[in-house]
């Protein structure tokens, strides 16, 4: 498996996890909202559904024009036809840091969960990744 300098699996930058196909990048965890307030990140907070503040986790992103929930991360930027990047990488939601797809571990497809907020998937444990 190809790892980055910190020993973390490499991301393919395919954007599947952020495009709403699995809804991983659509959840707010405790601390995210408060961090963005402290960082004065109005650019992020304007997309956050205010009614979810204080909940353990909830779907958060809304369209700033219509106020309706959106099914993708509004901070996903296209680099080219096959690659994407995160516009808020420096302060992305915690859920994003906790998600790794099977592809990153050379164990399956892009965007398919392998390690998430809930820990290692059953497939990852079968392969000996859980300690």
Task: Please say if the pLDDT value at position 39 is more than 90.
Answer: yes
Q: What's the whole-number mean pLDDT along residues 55-59?
A: 59
pLDDT at residue 54, rounded to an integer: 55
Confidence of residue 55 (pLDDT cuts 50, 70, 90): low
Closest to 29 in 3D by CA, of 47, 52, 2, 8 = 52
What is residue 48's three-state secondary structure? strand
Quick check: 71 and 63 in contact, CB under 8 A?
Answer: no
Note the pTM of the prediction, 2 decimals.
0.77
Quick check: 33 and 53 in contact, CB under 8 A?
Answer: yes
pLDDT, one tens digit per residue, over 64-107 is 899 888 888 899 999 998 899 999 999 998 888 888 888 888 88
What count of Cα atoms within 13 Å lies in the side-chain half-sphere of residue 52?
21
Confidence of residue 37 (pLDDT cuts 50, 70, 90): very high
């Amino acid at each position: 498996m190809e790892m980055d300098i910190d020993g973390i699996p490499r991301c393919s930058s395919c954007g599947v996890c952020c495009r709403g196909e699995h809804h991983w990048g659509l959840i707010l965890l405790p601390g995210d909202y408060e961090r963005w307030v402290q960082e004065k990140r109005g650019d992020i907070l304007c997309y956050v559904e205010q009614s979810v503040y204080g909940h353990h986790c909830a779907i958060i992103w809304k369209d700033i024009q219509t106020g309706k929930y959106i099914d993708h991360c509004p901070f996903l930027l296209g680099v080219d036809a096959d690659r994407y990047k995160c516009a808020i990488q420096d302060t992305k939601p915690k859920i994003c840091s906790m998600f790794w797809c099977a592809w990153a571990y050379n164990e399956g497809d892009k965007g398919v969960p392998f390690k998430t907020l809930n820990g290692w998937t059953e497939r990852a444990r079968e392969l000996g990744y859980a300690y």
